[in-house]
Chain A
């Protein structure tokens, strides 16, 4: 190759749209006299066009939800109860209210691509709704935990493609629970808790990790798009030691 290296730089700058007028004039003059230069220019231009043409890929649909839900929530003061909480605060309306709120929010969770954080403020009725036998959605199994550190039940329910893992637990000390689902098509779709705080959740590929202490009631929503058979492995940990392991299974035939 006999081309002066400065022309390689000018060729690249021109293709990248970063050449100044003087450089452009110098390059044009060089290319007019150099067949080899023109060939280098063409090859580089072709390569750059191919690189520019590499398709942009859409991130997985659920990634935004995961990213939003993994961000630590800053302790923002709650100026007033949420709209639905106020509406259904009365004891008589409460039961019906729980159901109505539950249905509305379940639909939101199922149908919406964007689960608003605002919805979570008003989600307190949802767990009560799914736990109530009169309105119960299909139940696929319950496991019991009876350890000195944590005791209670975890129940798996479903509605359409949504798997609902309903935790009703009481812990004497901080406990970490990892719910792992081996089917990678399943994705984390939401989280609701009866208490307004006290449980944290982190979602990653194939698993959610929950940290809790005290008596807590909460539900994790997973989207199982193919409504395929699925298993959820639960691992309970305290003081970095595994204290209990269990498995819940879903099958459409249940």
Chain B
């Protein structure tokens, strides 16, 4: 049986159908949490941002325009909330290569991959705008066109931002002997 698409689920949510909300949660909880985690480098902060994102989705169901795809709406909220969180905690500025470090939560210990940790640390050295395109492309698997939709910027800008972000990451990784 086909799963209902996001738009149908949103319609049902608007009519107070909690089961539809549960289905959206099941679909988007993990990507939203992971995007927030990569933006913030903290599982605790990612959890709080994930809560805020879904609360906002639920509270603003009536503002969702079905002519846009749901994922672009929820991912935009996720990235905006992550950036707001960074502002609130005075972490908006990219960290320099020496101070950027990975969180040491249990999830991090479980992954225990040096390159992955180095990559996360490198991600924290680039600005949130650059980090956003990397997260959308490599973590959420978005195309240029989808990134353009989420960030509401032209595709050309997506390409140049992605290119610069990758260059900056590469430089950091080379400095750290990881690339």
Contact = CB atoms under 8 A, between A and B. Distances in A.
A44 to B, nearest CB: 6
Contacts of A57: 33-34, 37, 43, 107, 111
B113 A51 contact: no
A76 B14 CA distance: 12
A205 B29 CA distance: 16
B12 to A, nearest CB: 12
Contact of B55 (A48, A60, A71): A71
Nearest to A18: B144
Chain B interface size, as a band, is: 35 or more
A74 B21 CA distance: 12
Interface string B138-159: 1100011000000000000001
Contacts of A92: none
Interface stretch (B2-10, B68-76, B85-93, B161-169): B161-169
B54 interface: yes
Contacts, number: 102
Given A48-B166, A56-B34, A64-B25, A16 B137 contact: yes
Interface in A11-27: 12-13, 16, 18
Contacts of B134: 51
B144 A67 contact: no
B59 A72 contact: yes
A12 B29 contact: no
Contact of B119 (A50, A58, A60, A76): A50
Interface in B15-35: 16, 18, 21-22, 25-26, 29-30, 33-34
Interface of A: 8-9, 12-13, 16, 18, 43-44, 46-48, 50-60, 63-64, 66-68, 70-74, 76, 117, 184, 204-205
Q: Which 3 A-B pairs have the closest CB atoms?
A: A74-B16, A51-B138, A59-B33
Given A16-B162, A47-B166, 14 more contacts: A44-B166, A51-B137, A54-B138, A55-B111, A58-B30, A59-B29, A59-B30, A63-B29, A64-B26, A67-B50, A67-B51, A71-B18, A73-B18, A205-B47
